[in-house]
Amino acid sequence: MIEMRRVYFATGNPHKIEEAKLILRNYNVELAHLNIQRIEIQSPDLVDIATYSLNQIVKEFKQPVFVEDTGLFIDSLNGFPGPFSSYVFKTLGNKGIIRLLRGENNRRAVFKTVIAFKESDKTPIKIFIGETSGVIAEDIRGEGWGYDPVFIPLEGDGRTYAEMSLEEKNKLSHRFKALKLLGEFLRKV
């Protein structure tokens, strides 16, 4: 029997924990939640944000741990909200994003996740990136968190993430792609 490996996910978002547990168990990873306060810098680069956050955490926490930062990059808005997606969601929400795109024909967008992982305070940071291309729906569809009710992945069947089951979403999502890369890495070390 293959032994489960414990890795900590530093996030305050319980939805992300639920998604990550389902994905990483396929790689014999037991995911533990690390709810720790950290400063999130403002940067146009998700890698910089995730790396900075992880470096803060590993100063105090010496176990295998990762952080994740995600952005929704909308073509016609020049990549906005991008790395500011969380703040924009809290202030404008999905209704605000739909209003910004009213009358816009180009609704293409990319959801991007960056995972920064560190085995211990003595090892280098490893970066894993997942991206999913899609379009922004013209209205809110389905029950879900974050931008899931307005993001339609191109690889899918025309439904938003929020209209899919978690298992269906986890086969297509940006987070799945990044977590899969992390899982494959952890399986080898």
Q: Is the Cβ–Cβ distance between 117 and 64 less than 8 Å?
A: yes
pLDDT tens for the chain, residues 1 to 189: 567 899 999 998 888 999 899 999 999 999 999 988 777 788 889 999 999 999 999 988 889 999 999 999 999 999 999 999 999 999 999 999 999 999 999 999 999 999 999 998 788 999 999 999 999 999 999 998 899 999 999 999 999 999 999 889 989 999 999 999 999 999 987
Rounded distance between C-alpha atoms, residue 164 and residue 2, angstroms: 32
Residues in Cβ contact with 90 at an 8 Å cutoff, skipping those fewer than 6 apart: none
User: Are residues 64 and 7 in contact, defined by beta-carbon separation less than 8 angstroms?
Assistant: yes
What pLDDT is stored for residue 1 in this prediction? Answer: 55
Distance CA 112, CA 82 (A): 9
Q: Please name the helix (run of DSSP H) or strand (run of DSSP E) that holds residue 151, with its range, or none.
A: strand 151-153
Which residue, among 118, 44, 55, has the nearest Cα to 83 in the 3D structure?
44
The total number of structural domains that make up the chain:
1
Q: Residue-wise over 26-43: b if at least 16 C-beta within 10 A, else e?
A: ebebebebbebebeeeeb
- Coil, strand, or helix at residue 33? strand
Instruction: Compute the distance between CA of residue 71 and CA of residue 73 in angstroms, rounded to an integer.
Output: 6
Tokens linked to 170: 């986890």
How far is residue 101's CA from residue 80's CA, in Å, rounded to a whole number? 11
pLDDT recorded at residue 32: 95
> What are the residue numbers of the active site?
69
* Domain span including residue 24: 5-188
CATH number for the domain spanning 176: value is 3.90.950.10
